[in-house]
Each structure stands twice: as C-alpha cells, then as structure tokens.
C-alpha cells in the first residue's frame, strides 16, 4: 500500500534535510582547508 510512503515523507524528509545540510556545510567548510590534515613529517628525513 502507498500509505506508509505517503506519511513517511512527513518525518523522513526533515531527517534527510538536516543530514544533507550538515553534509553540505561540512563539505563547504572543508574546501577552505579547515579539515585538511597537515602533511605528516616523514621519519628519518633531514629537516
């Protein structure tokens, strides 16, 4: 029956919207370099 899917949008889509908002915000913040890990120093290499 389509009934479950019809009502499901009322609670499912707020969840999807919040998840995507968080994902988009994190992704956009990452492109400014906030989440880029600094390159690890190689062991034994001369400074």
Partner 1 sequence: MSVAYTAIGWNRQKRLYDAAVVGGVLLFVGLFFAIGKFAGRGPEVERVHDDAMLLIRALGTCGLVLLHIVLWIGPLARLDPRLLPLLYNRRHLGVLTFLIGLAHAAITLVQYHGFGNVNPLVSLFTSNTNFTSLAEFPFELLGLAALVILFLMAATSHDFWLAVLSPRVWKWLHMSVYAAYALLVMHVVLGVLQQDRSPLLPLLLIAGVAITAGLHIAAGLREHARDTRGDALLDGLIDAGPTGEIALNRARVVCTSSAERIAVFKHTANGKACISAVANVCAHQQGPLGEGKVIDGCITCPWHGYQYHPADGCAPPPFTEKISTYRVTLRGGRVLIDPKACPPGTPIAPAEVPDAG
Site string for partner 1, 3-22 (x = CB under 8 A): x-xxxxxxxxxx-xx-xxx-
Q: Which residue has the tokens 């019809």?
A: 6
Nearest CA among 29, 30, 27, 7 for reference residue 19: 27
In the three-class reduction of DSSP (H, G, I as helix; E, B as strand; rest coil), residue 7 is classed as helix
- Report the alpha-carbon distance of residue 2 to residue 21 in Å, rounded: 28
CB 35 → partner 1: shortest distance, Å? 4
CB 12 → partner 1: shortest distance, Å? 7
Under the rule (CB under 8 A), what is the footprint of partner 1? 1-3, 5-14, 16-17, 19-21, 23-24, 26-31, 33, 35-37
């Amino acid at each position: 029956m389509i009934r479950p899917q019809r009502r499901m949008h009322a609670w499912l889509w707020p969840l999807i919207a919040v998840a995507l908002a968080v994902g988009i915000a994190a992704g956009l913040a990452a492109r400014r370099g906030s989440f880029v890990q600094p390159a690890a120093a190689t062991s034994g290499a001369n400074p």
